[in-house]
Chains A and B, each alone.
Chain A
Amino acid sequence: MYNLFRFFLRYHLFILFLSLEVFCFYLSYRTRRYNEAAYSNFANGISGRVFDTYTGITDYLYLRRMSDSLVRENAILRQKLVESKFDNRVDSTGVNDSSGRYVQHFTYITARVIYNSVNHASNLIYLNRGKQQGLTKQMGVFNANGIVGQVISVTDNYAAVMSVLSKDFKVSAKLKKSEFFGNMHWDGINSTTATLEEIPKHVPVKIGDTIVTSGFSELFPRNLMIGTVKSVKTEPDKNFLDLTVNLSTNFGNLSYVYVVKNIRRDELQNLDSLAHKND
């Protein structure tokens, strides 16, 4: 017993160091594991407010390149695009009944980016919209140039978005020309490129081909721009192509973005759980 005490007395600093370090690792592990923005909503609210004030000041420096009203108008226009509608026809050869053919499938909420980073292993973006403006977890985010990310946590007035430039971000993407689809994720270093996987080897792909969203996930409507093919590599021991994609979104200067609200999401998720119940 005496020796035990002596041990603790002698190494108490190192033990303190180790236990705090373990606690830090636990914190960062938990954040990663559950894919959540760090800390409680309270802490996010505080940092959200600080960044909001900061953007409020720096906005004058950029002379408000885009006005809010223009962006709102764009959102309304996008809502009217065919891609945002749900095709309600059962008989595809039937006569078009213009009254009941299209039902709204996606709506868009505009938001301003108040914090953004591109140099980390997992980059986060803060938006000045939250629960009260209708945002929830698992909503897609894009801007006029391409996709931006996915909402991972919301407070009353702010939301944290996992950027495409994150280790854990995955999106279902397809080649616009041939409709072959695969999973796209970021490689972790270059903020302008990402990797597209699972495109079979026999598919003809040229440099410069357009990559768009497939619409398979509930995050994004189909045919949203993602980028263009930068390079194509084949490896003899793999059945799939190694595609590098030039992202069309410039993550360095995001200012206004759209958040995708999928009206049929709950229904899709229900279907998903039903389908898996039968496994």
Chain B
Amino acid sequence: MINQIPINLLRLFLLLMLQVLIFSHINFSAFVNPYVFPLFILLLPFETPRWLLMLLGFAAGLALDIFLNSTGMHAAACLLIGYLRPFLISIITPKGTEFEISPNIYAQGLTWFVVYLGVATAIYLGFYFLLEAATFLNFFFLLLKTILSTIISVAFMLIFLYLFSSKKVRRFA
């Protein structure tokens, strides 16, 4: 359990740098803003208490806000998925499943991960874009932006997961 802390700190640092130095520089289109950063909260160990999930999400979001100059908006969105994560996991996981310590793409499988990341990222981005625009006026623009950005973000997240996940896991069928 103890060695989870350095791993997650390393992941936080890596994701922060990836997000700030690469993904936020992809000025591809107004409709596509990829965010891989939520992965930090989504990959925290399953046993993390909920208050800690929220506090970590809040702190990590603030760190991202410093670099992207979006005061409080990423913090609010990270906090939201930190709060919702336990609900989401209990909804999409079949009863009686045994868990590894942290979510792992080789243990949970691709389908589980696509659903998990897709729903969480859509919530994150939808909430963030709404806060950023601070209006419902361009609702369909925001909706389309959220959908397209979610698809691209999840694709990048999966690449990240396949690159950096440990293959040494027990498979639970």
Cβ contacts under 8 Å, A190 to chain B: 30
Closest to B130 in A: A121
Query: B73 an interface residue at 8 Å Cβ cutoff?
Result: yes
Tell me which of B54, B58, B71, B75 contacts A13 (CB under 8 A).
B54
- Contacts A21-B79, A32-B134, A189-B138: A119 and B54 contacting too (C-beta < 8 A)? no
- Contacts A31-B71, A39-B66, A47-B66: A24 and B76 contacting too (C-beta < 8 A)? yes
B76 lies within 8 A of A25 (CB) = yes
Query: B67 an interface residue at 8 Å Cβ cutoff?
Result: yes
Closest to A57 in B: B21
Tell me the complex Cα distance, A190–B65, Å: 23
Tell me which of B21, B54, B133 contacts A20 (CB under 8 A).
B54
B71 lies within 8 A of A39 (CB) = yes
Kindly identify, within residues 176 to 192 of chain A, every residue whose CB is under 8 Å from any CB belonging to chain B: 188-191
Cβ contacts under 8 Å, B68 to chain A: 117
A189 lies within 8 A of B71 (CB) = no
- Nearest Cβ in chain B — how far from A103, in angstroms? 38
Interface centre among A24, A54, A121, A167 (most CB of B within 10 A): A24
Tier of interface size on chain A: 35 or more
Query: B69 an interface residue at 8 Å Cβ cutoff?
Result: yes
Tell me the complex Cα distance, A39–B29, Å: 28
Tell me which of A20, A26, A46, A121 contacts B134 (CB under 8 A).
A121
- Nearest Cβ in chain A — how far from B80, in angstroms? 7
A28 lies within 8 A of B72 (CB) = yes
> 1/0 per residue A9-41: CB within 8 Å of B?
000110011001101111110111000011100
Cβ contacts under 8 Å, A189 to chain B: 30, 138, 141
Tell me which of B50, B72, B141 contacts A24 (CB under 8 A).
B72
Query: B164 an interface residue at 8 Å Cβ cutoff?
Result: no
Tell me which of A43, A54, A122, A160 contacts B21 (CB under 8 A).
A54
Tell me which of A16, A31, A43 contacts B66 (CB under 8 A).
A43
Tell me which of A16, A122, A160 contacts B54 (CB under 8 A).
A16
- Nearest Cβ in chain B — how far from A166, in angstroms? 11
- Nearest Cβ in chain A — how far from B70, in angstroms? 7
B30 lies within 8 A of A121 (CB) = no
Query: B24 an interface residue at 8 Å Cβ cutoff?
Result: yes
- Nearest Cβ in chain B — how far from A237, in angstroms? 19
Query: B98 an interface residue at 8 Å Cβ cutoff?
Result: no
Kindly identify, within residues 181 to 206 of chain A, every residue whose CB is under 8 Å from any CB belonging to chain B: 188-191
Tell me the complex Cα distance, A50–B63, Å: 13
A191 lies within 8 A of B30 (CB) = yes
New A-B pairs, 20, CB < 8 Å, besides A24-B75, A117-B25? A16-B51, A16-B54, A17-B83, A20-B55, A24-B76, A27-B75, A28-B72, A28-B76, A31-B71, A32-B134, A38-B65, A47-B67, A47-B69, A117-B27, A118-B27, A119-B27, A120-B33, A122-B132, A188-B133, A189-B138
Q: Name B residues whose Cβ lies closer than 8 Å to a Cβ of A.
A: 20-21, 24-25, 27, 29-30, 32-33, 50-51, 54-55, 58, 61, 65-73, 75-76, 79-80, 83, 129, 131-134, 138, 141
Across the A-B interface, give the 10 residue pairs with the lowest CB-CB distance, nearest first: A27-B72, A24-B76, A38-B71, A28-B72, A24-B72, A31-B71, A121-B132, A43-B66, A38-B69, A17-B83
